[in-house]
């Protein structure tokens, strides 16, 4: 498909409202692009305002014109209860239920053994990847109804471990426990919860974890995004609970 061309196929996602965290780059913006092409209204967040504004302009061009859709770009630090409260005050102001929440924001850390890992690094990673996931989800539940879907971008590190990545591994293992609990709590309410567990994907996160990692062996963020949209397009009475994706060459 030529880059930037909206798909118009009467998608069951068109007109839906989706919130994507960490949508100013990487997997987040790829998912936001894919949702824009499906005709979603979007709320995109991240901490860096400049890249969010750029992302908004790009996404607006991808949305099918005749649907009269909008993109709200709002900086939000998922670690901060005040920042999350402010974001959701804006969401409530839209007076529409939130149909899709993509909890994608996350960070990694440079390789360190547990013996060497600085406590502030541990705190920052757990605060972002686990506490931030809780804060965003709890706030979102107040504006989500039967038929909506939550996708938590975890990692294969939610089940496997990579030495030197204790804080990342622990945050993602915790996030999987949270996601599995959430799914059981929301099942009777008709809200689907998907654990997205990608392996190595070519994004900026590798600059922190392993700058010289072989990017050519990795999946693209667009491939991960396509899988997310496929899962969202399943009929409401069906769900994939866990999506594990790997580069076909295996882990790096
Ligand atoms: N790339 C991979 O190989 C891979 C594999 C499996 C899972 N994942 C997961 O995919 C998610 C996205 O990562 P990525 O690979 O796309 O990396 P990325 O390009 O570094 O993107 C990370 C995103 O998270 C946002 N973010 C970080 N801290 C935040 C905070 N405190 N509050 C709000 N937003 C924050 C960043 O925006 P700001 O910096 O502007 O806040 C950015 O948009 C992460 O959860 C990661 O663990 C990645």
C-alpha torsion sign, points 87, 45, 38, 64: positive
Q: Report how many domains make up the chain.
A: 1
Q: How far is the CA of 107 from the centre of ligand 1 (A)?
A: 5
pLDDT of the residue at 3: 52
Whether residue 38 is contained in a domain is answered as: yes
- Residue to probe by mutation, ligand 1, list 46, 53, 73, most atoms within 8 Å of CB: 46
Please work out whether the CB of residue 47 comes within 6 Å of at least one atom of ligand 1: yes
Encoding tokens for residue 187? 């099942």
Please work out whether the CB of residue 28 comes within 6 Å of at least one atom of ligand 1: yes
pLDDT of the residue at 1: 43
Contact 147, 236 (CB under 8 A): yes
Whether residue 7 is contained in a domain is answered as: no
Q: How far is the CA of 187 from the centre of ligand 1 (A)?
A: 27
pLDDT digit string (tens) for 176-222?
999 999 999 999 999 999 999 999 999 999 999 999 999 999 999 99
Whether residue 75 is contained in a domain is answered as: yes
Please work out whether the CB of residue 174 comes within 6 Å of at least one atom of ligand 1: no
pLDDT of the residue at 252: 80
Contact 193, 182 (CB under 8 A): yes
Catalytic residues: 168
Encoding tokens for residue 164? 């030197």
Whether residue 2 is contained in a domain is answered as: no
Domain containing residue 46: 17-245
Whether residue 229 is contained in a domain is answered as: yes
Q: Calculate the CA 18 to chain-centre distance.
A: 11
Please work out whether the CB of residue 22 comes within 6 Å of at least one atom of ligand 1: yes
pLDDT digits (tens), the chain, 252 positions: 445 555 545 689 999 999 999 999 999 999 999 999 999 999 999 999 999 999 999 999 999 999 999 999 999 999 999 999 999 999 999 999 999 999 999 999 999 999 999 999 999 999 999 999 999 999 999 999 999 999 999 999 999 999 999 999 999 999 999 999 999 999 999 999 999 999 999 999 999 999 999 999 999 999 999 999 999 999 989 999 999 999 999 878
Q: How far is the CA of 144 from the centre of ligand 1 (A)?
A: 23
Whether residue 4 is contained in a domain is answered as: no
Cα Rg of the chain (Å, integer):
17
Contact 199, 227 (CB under 8 A): no
pLDDT of the residue at 9: 52
Whether residue 6 is contained in a domain is answered as: no
Whether residue 9 is contained in a domain is answered as: no
CATH for 210: 3.40.50.720
Please work out whether the CB of residue 247 comes within 6 Å of at least one atom of ligand 1: no
């Amino acid at each position: 498909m030529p880059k930037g061309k909206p798909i118009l196929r009467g998608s069951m996602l068109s007109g839906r409202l989706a919130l994507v965290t960490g949508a100013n780059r990487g997997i987040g913006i790829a998912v936001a692009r894919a949702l824009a092409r499906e005709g979603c209204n979007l709320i995109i967040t991240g901490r860096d305002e400049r890249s969010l504004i750029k992302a908004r302009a790009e996404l607006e061009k991808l949305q099918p014109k005749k649907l009269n859709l909008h993109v709200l770009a709002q900086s939000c630090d998922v670690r901060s209860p005040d920042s999350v409260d402010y974001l959701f005050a804006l969401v409530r102001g839209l007076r529409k239920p939130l149909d899709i929440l993509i909890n994608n924001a996350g960070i990694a850390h440079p390789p360190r053994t547990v013996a060497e890992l600085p406590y502030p690094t541990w705190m920052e990673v757990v605060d972002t990847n686990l506490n931030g996931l809780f804060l965003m989800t709890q706030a979102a539940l107040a504006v989500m109804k039967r038929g909506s879907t939550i996708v938590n971008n975890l990692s294969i590190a939610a089940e496997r471990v990579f030495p030197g990545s204790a804080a990342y591994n622990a945050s993602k293992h915790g996030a999987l426990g949270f996601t599995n609990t959430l799914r059981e709590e929301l099942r009777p309410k008709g809200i689907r919860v998907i654990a997205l567990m990608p392996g190595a994907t070519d994004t900026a996160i590798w600059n922190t974890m392993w700058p010289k990692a072989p990017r050519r062996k990795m999946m693209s963020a667009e491939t991960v995004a396509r899988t997310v949209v496929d899962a969202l397009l399943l009929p409401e009475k069906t769900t994939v609970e866990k999506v594990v994706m790997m580069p076909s060459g295996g882990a790096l």
